Amino acid sequence: MHGACPQEVKPMARTIILLCLFTLFGATATPNTEATCDRACLEKWVDRYLVAMANQDKNPEMFAPDLKFTEDGVQLPFGNEGLWYSMSGVGKYKFYVPDVETQQVAFLGTVREKAPRSREESLSALALRLKIRNDRIVEIEQIVVRPDSVNSSAGDFPPTGPAVEAMGSPHPIFTESIPEDKRMSREDLIKTANYYFTGLENNDGKGYYPFTDDCVRFENGVDVLLSTNKETGAKTRTTCKQQFEDGVKGIVTRIRDRRFVAVDREKGIVFSFAFFDHDFIHWTWQLAELFKIENGQIRRIEAIFHRAPYGMNSGWSSFEKGISNEIQAP
């Protein structure tokens, strides 16, 4: 029989013994030498990365020699361009989304930058994804929303960095753990988050909108469900579901390259990258968006975004996947 050891082995057949052992055990006994990071470990990688970037420290013990680095959808040389060139410090707002299963960690927060010529310091918002393998960073993907970024269609938002910084820290809802017996699967969390994108694309008020009654949405640090009457100063609040049911978001014609890059089942949080297109004005938003999900419903949403060239790609997807509105692999 192929692959079986003979029942009797003569002393001279040492080679056969070795071959038998390999045949029986060699294919399954390979140890997993790759280190695994837990939640705290993954979050620490973000902190280490931010400090390294501020100091322009390309420590080879942290970074794989063949790592891939993109900023705002563009692949750049690693270590001295983009935010690596201008970052001067870390801000106060820090939101971590560790994904132990995929050994990736996402982050939304603020950083300080110095202008290249004036060296004046300002706050920018940062969305970040790191992939860890064998105790090294092998992938870096980041979106930086700077003070001069176009961050609203009407031009009525304050600069994103200071607005996010003013939030202080992630809302306590985000830090609440989901009871273990009520935690949703990875697939169901992504499916629920994707309902948001599907409902927003060509929004006609007739879709499936799984929002809680107390759902709140912040965009670039602004509570977009709260409106203020310019004449009276009176404030009124709508709901996530009401806004979708009214079809007010129908101007988004395509939501593409939907990549759910970090899932935290313990907290019920999904972190995504995507692009929103407005084809009739040739306008694209590049964004990072995260969702707090409980019992199959979206309870809170935070996003940062800026205007990008129409049809912009993430730098991590093929052309075909980049223009698709289907869920893409992280």
| Closest C-alpha to 300, from 244, 234, 223 | 223
Q: Which domains does the chain have, with CATH numbers?
A: 39-157 (3.10.450.50), 172-328 (3.10.450.50)
**C-beta separation of 292 from 174 below 8 A:** yes
pTM, two decimal places: 0.87
Spell out the SS3 assignment of 217-278.
Answer: EEECCEECCEEECCCCCCEEECCHHHHHHCCCCCCCCEEEEEEEEEEECCCCEEEEEEEEEE
Lowest mean pLDDT among 201-210, 219-228, 243-252, 304-313: 243-252
Residue 241 identity (one-letter amino acid): K
C-alpha distances out from residue 7 to 2, 4, 16, 128, Å: 14, 9, 12, 58
Top-confidence residue, 150 or 92: 92
pLDDT at residue 29 tops 70: no
Integer-rounded Cα Rg, in Å, for the chain is 24
Q: With H, G, I as helix, E, B as strand and everything else as coil, classify residue 92.
A: strand
pLDDT number for residue 231: 79
Share of residues in the chain with pLDDT > 90 (%) = 75
For residue 120, the model assigns a pLDDT of 86
For residue 34, what are the CA distances in angstroms to 134, 135, 136, 186, 205? 5, 8, 11, 23, 48
Q: Residue 35: its pLDDT value, please? A: 64
DSSP state of 120: -
pLDDT at 101 over 50: yes
pLDDT tens for residues 289-322? 999 999 999 999 999 999 999 999 999 999 999 9
pLDDT band of 227, cuts 50, 70, 90: confident
